[in-house]
């Protein structure tokens, strides 16, 4: 299993934001999410192979009041 995570935060006065990137490359679907989606695997008794997950998360924030 390979897992990569990167994040960045930007602060500009009253405005700030962050962005996170997460990527997981798994030989075997340990979480079982891909296995439950694909009908050929969900009916069998083993998990899917070569599963990959990617997540993007961001948040933007602007403060109208100083505190």
Q: Kindly state the average pLDDT of the residues 25-54.
A: 78
Q: What is the pLDDT of residue 57?
A: 97
Q: What is the pLDDT of residue 5?
A: 96
Closest CA to 22 of 53, 63, 66: 53
The reply to whether the predicted model has a pTM over 0.75 is no
Q: What is the pLDDT of residue 40?
A: 67
Q: What is the pLDDT of residue 10?
A: 96
Query: What's the per-residue H, E or C state across 2-38?
Result: EEEEEEEEEEECCEEEEEEEEEEEEEECCCCHHHHHC
Q: What is the pLDDT of residue 32?
A: 78
């Amino acid at each position: 299993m390979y897992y990569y995570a990167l994040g960045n935060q930007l602060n500009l006065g009253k405005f700030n934001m962050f962005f996170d990137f997460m990527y997981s490359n798994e030989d075997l679907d340990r979480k079982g999410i891909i296995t439950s989606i694909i009908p050929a695997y969900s009916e069998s008794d083993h998990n899917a192979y070569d599963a990959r997950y990617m997540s993007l998360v961001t948040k933007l924030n602007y403060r109208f009041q100083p505190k």
